[in-house]
Chain A
Amino acid sequence: GESVGLHLPTLSVQEGDNSIINCAYSNSASDYFIWYKQESGKGPQFIIDIRSNMDKRQGQRVTVLLNKTVKHLSLQIAATQPGDSAVYFCAENLGNNNDMRFGAGTRLTVKP
């Protein structure tokens, strides 16, 4: 769900387990989506993108799923590693311009 200020949704997983991070996007006209990873003190780092004409896309250890019916996006990380600990943001392009609108973020913590 949404969060305000410092109270990000959090997900804690054991090293080696799979992680699933969810995002609800706002606009049914959005046609392009990106998942970003943000480590402390760094800018958002591109992980994977997906266009609205697809419902699944795979990268290295990551999979993005898009459900346009319920406006839901998820990021699956296989065999989660300590280096995956970060805040993960989904971002949507609203369909009529170039700017991306970011979600509130989820903090992923990987326990060794």
Chain B
Amino acid sequence: EPEVTQTPSHQVTQMGQEVILRCVPISNHLYFYWYRQILGQKVEFLVSFYNNEISEKSEIFDDQFSVERPDGSNFTLKIRSTKLEDSAMYFCASSEVSRNQPQHFGDGTRLSIL
């Protein structure tokens, strides 16, 4: 069964540094998402992406964050000037052709800011 893959599984970064989290969505999916889950808390929506542009973003997704689809398979989340409170699991998800379709998640990248 096709799946969303994320790399790396664990990223450790010094505070203030930039980090890029990578995702390969399911190949025939057109909608892509990033979510964040702080340890022990619920999954929080960050951003959705369709047709090479952001379609929705939450209040968490401020100027520190950006997303990009640099080629036909990868979808990245860049976090600039990382802060301690950015430490969390970051999940990528994708869905097929339109809204109200199941979103399929990767296993996440654990980001630890020191």
Contacting residue for A5 out of B41, B104, B107, CB 8 A: B41
Contacting residue for A97 out of B41, B43, B56, CB 8 A: B56
| Chain B, Cβ-Cβ closest to A6 | B40
| Chain B, Cβ-Cβ closest to A7 | B40
| Chain B, Cβ-Cβ closest to A52 | B100
Contacting residue for B40 out of A5, A102, A103, CB 8 A: A5
Which of B42, B55, B102, B104 has the most chain A CB atoms inside 10 A of its CB? Answer: B42
Instruction: Mark B30-69 against chain A: 1 for CB-CB distance below 8 A, else 0.
Output: 0101010000111111001010000110100000000000
B residues near A103, Cβ cutoff 8 Å = 42
Residues B107 and A32 in contact, CB atoms below 8 Å apart: no
B63 to chain A, nearest CB (A): 19
Which of B50, B99, B107 has the most chain A CB atoms inside 10 A of its CB? Answer: B99
A47 to chain B, nearest CB (A): 9
Q: Does A110 belong to the interface (CB within 8 Å)?
A: no
B residues near A5, Cβ cutoff 8 Å = 40-41
CB-contacts of B61-98 with A (<8 A): 91, 93, 95
> What is the CA–CA distance of A35 and B12 in the complex, to the nearest angstrom?
31
| Chain A, Cβ-Cβ closest to B40 | A6
B residues near A6, Cβ cutoff 8 Å = 40
Residues B108 and A43 in contact, CB atoms below 8 Å apart: yes
Q: Please, could you name 9 A-B residue pairs with CB atoms under 8 Å apart, sorted by A? A: A5-B41, A32-B99, A43-B108, A46-B103, A98-B33, A98-B48, A98-B55, A103-B42, A105-B42
Q: Given contacts A41-B107, A44-B91, A98-B99, list 12 more A-B pairs with CB under 8 A.
A: A32-B99, A43-B106, A46-B103, A49-B102, A91-B43, A93-B100, A97-B55, A98-B31, A98-B48, A101-B45, A102-B45, A105-B42
Ranked 10 nearest A-B pairs via Cβ: A43-B105, A6-B40, A32-B100, A102-B43, A99-B45, A97-B56, A98-B99, A43-B107, A44-B105, A46-B102
By a beta-carbon cutoff of 8 Å, the part of chain A in contact with chain B is 4-6, 8, 31-32, 34, 36, 41-46, 49, 51, 89, 91, 93, 97-105
